[in-house]
């Protein structure tokens, strides 16, 4: 395992978080400024559309009723503070874990900003429109990328422990 220098502690965590958040927010702003709400724009016909929609709920519009509308912004804030605190206070040795938590923070912050600002999230990526797969955004992608990174970290750690047994 490589040793991190004092000034490099969790750098990958913060780079993933800030770049991911920036890309999420800039693409959402671009979509809001340039697309009509609910009007699909084919990018790759039958495979990928940009369809600007507003999601009041969480993933797949879960908890999109009025009863949950006040819960999700607070949940986003609490999760974001918890992950940011982890990145600030803990030394994360594994690079996959650093990247994973950074991407998850980018996604939580990206959608959290939307929820706090407007009470709903800007979604626009519609994969395989014929399947009616939910429309999503870069923040959602970052959360999934982060989970994949954390799974890789677990597998790498398990492999290394298996070699040392």
Strand boundaries in 13-85, DSSP class E: 41-44, 48-55
* 51 and 38 Cβ atoms separated by less than 8 Å: yes
Of the listed ranges 56-70, 92-106, 116-130, the least confidently predicted one is: 56-70
Distance CA 15, CA 99 (A): 8
Q: What is the pLDDT of residue 162?
A: 73
Residue 4: pLDDT band (50, 70, 90) is very low
* 37-93 per-position pLDDT tens digit: 999 999 999 999 999 999 986 665 556 566 666 677 888 899 999 999 999 999 998
pLDDT band at 1 (very low <50, low <70, confident <90, very high): very low
List 24, 94, 114, 140, catalytic entry? 140
Report the candidate in 49, 30, 40, 23 with the shortest Cα–Cα distance to residue 140.
Answer: 23
Residue 72's pLDDT is 77
pLDDT band at 165 (very low <50, low <70, confident <90, very high): low
Tens digit of each residue's pLDDT (9 = 90 or more) over 133-147: 889 999 999 999 999
C-alpha 50/C-alpha 56 separation (Å) is 18
pTM of the model: 0.87
Q: Where are the alpha helices (DSSP H) in 52-137?
A: 71-89, 95-118
> Which is more confident, 163 or 79?
79
Q: How far is CA 55 from the centre of its chain?
A: 15
Query: Across all residues in the chain, what is the average pLDDT?
Result: 89
Active site residue 123: yes
Given the DSSP bridges, would you call strands 121-127 and 41-44 parallel, antiparallel or unpaired?
unpaired
Catalytic residue, chosen from 24, 94, 114, 123, is 123
Tokens of 106: 């980018």
């Amino acid at each position: 395992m490589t040793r991190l220098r004092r000034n490099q502690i969790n750098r990958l965590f913060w780079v993933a978080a800030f770049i991911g958040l920036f890309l999420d927010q800039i693409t959402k702003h671009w979509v809001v400024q340039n697309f009509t709400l609910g009007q699909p724009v084919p990018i790759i016909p039958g495979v990928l559309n940009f369809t600007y929609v507003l999601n009041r709920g969480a993933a797949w519009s879960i908890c999109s009723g009025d009863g949950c509308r006040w819960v999700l912004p607070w949940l986003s804030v609490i999760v974001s503070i918890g992950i940011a605190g982890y990145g600030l206070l803990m030394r994360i040795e594994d690079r996959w874990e650093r990247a994973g938590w950074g991407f998850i923070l980018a996604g939580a912050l990206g959608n959290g900003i939307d929820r706090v600002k407007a009470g709903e999230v800007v979604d626009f990526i519609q994969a395989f429109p014929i399947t009616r797969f939910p429309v999503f955004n870069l923040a959602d992608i970052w959360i999934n990328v982060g989970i994949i990174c954390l799974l890789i970290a677990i597998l790498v750690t398990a492999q290394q422990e298996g070699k040392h047994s």
